Structure 1
Amino acid sequence: MPLITIEAARRQVNLLESETFQDQYLQQLMAAVEAHIRRRLNCTFFETAAEYEAADPKPPKAIIIEESQDLTHAALLLLAHWFTNREAVSTVQMVEVPAAFESLIFEFRDLAIG
């Protein structure tokens, strides 16, 4: 199970389930978001605790997705931001929303298993 499902990605960017014309782009963003978060946290994701327990060898740092709704929410925030802002520059002044992505992932920096 990925950090974000295609259905959750569609909902986050206000697309109906039947509006699949953006799915390829959303899947690219989903992969990029997950890779970005893995690098930022320097960890491995596991879908369930059982999957983590079965891992051999165990990675030095791991996060269990099903127990990390706040991390999933951070991923959705980042996905929606990248979906809306497809260029490296903007003509509109943007400011970071407090308690957004950085706040949501902050605790995971040291709480990863391992």
Structure 2
Amino acid sequence: MVPLSLVKAQLRLEPEYIDEDEILNLYISAAFTSIEAFLCRKLYVDVVPESDESGMLFNSDIQLASLLMIDHWYNNRSSTTTETVKEVPLGFRHLLGHYRYRKVG
């Protein structure tokens, strides 16, 4: 969903830098599943099946939220710190909050 080249641009890594590609791909995958869980929706690239009433297309807001998460994880590789613990940046909830699925009834 989020190209590795875009993740590297977000992290200001040179495209030819490959030492951390494996972990970056793990972050991409984890961001995708985390966002699906947060939204309570399955994400699709091209078409949402008619049978999936809560499904939605992957869009630029979701892509940017993914980049924010990946950037956060890359720069904060441990949950143990001597600094103040921070949540994923505010932009994440701002970008995704209105897409959350809430079944009524």
The interval holding the TM-score normalised by the smaller chain is 0.7 to 0.9
User: Which residue of 76, 85, 89 corresponds with 1:85?
Assistant: 76
Write the distance in 1 (CA, Å) between the matches of 2:90 and 2:72: 15
Cα offset, 1:25, TM superposition: 0.3
Deviation at 1:20, TM superposition (A): 1.4
CA shift, 1:60, in A, is 2.8
Give 4+ residue runs of structure 1 displaced > 4 Å after superposition: 94-99
Structure 2 counterpart of 1:104: 95
Question: Can you give the 5+ residue segments of structure 1 that lack an aligned partner in the other structure?
Answer: none
**TM-score with structure 1 length normalisation?**
0.79
User: Which 5+ residue runs of structure 2 have no aligned equivalent?
Assistant: none
The 5 Å alignment of 1:49-60 reads 51-52=47-48, 55=49, 58-60=51-53
Structure 1 residues 41 and 99 mapped into 2: Cα distance closer, same or farther (>3 Å)? Answer: same
Alignment: residue pair count:
102
1:64-83 aligned at under 5 Å gives the runs: 64-65=57-58, 68-83=59-74
User: How far 1:45 sits from its partner (Å)?
Assistant: 1.0
Matched to 1:63, the amino acid is M
The answer (yes or no) to whether the contact 1:77–1:101 under 8 Å persists in 2 is yes
TM-score normalised by length of structure 2: 0.85
For 1:24, the equivalent position in structure 2 comes to 22
- Are 1:63 and 2:56 counterparts? yes
Q: Aligned partners of 1:17, 1:99: CA distance in 2, in Å? A: 28
Q: Are the counterparts in 1 of residues 41 and 56 from structure 2 also a CA contact under 8 Å?
A: yes
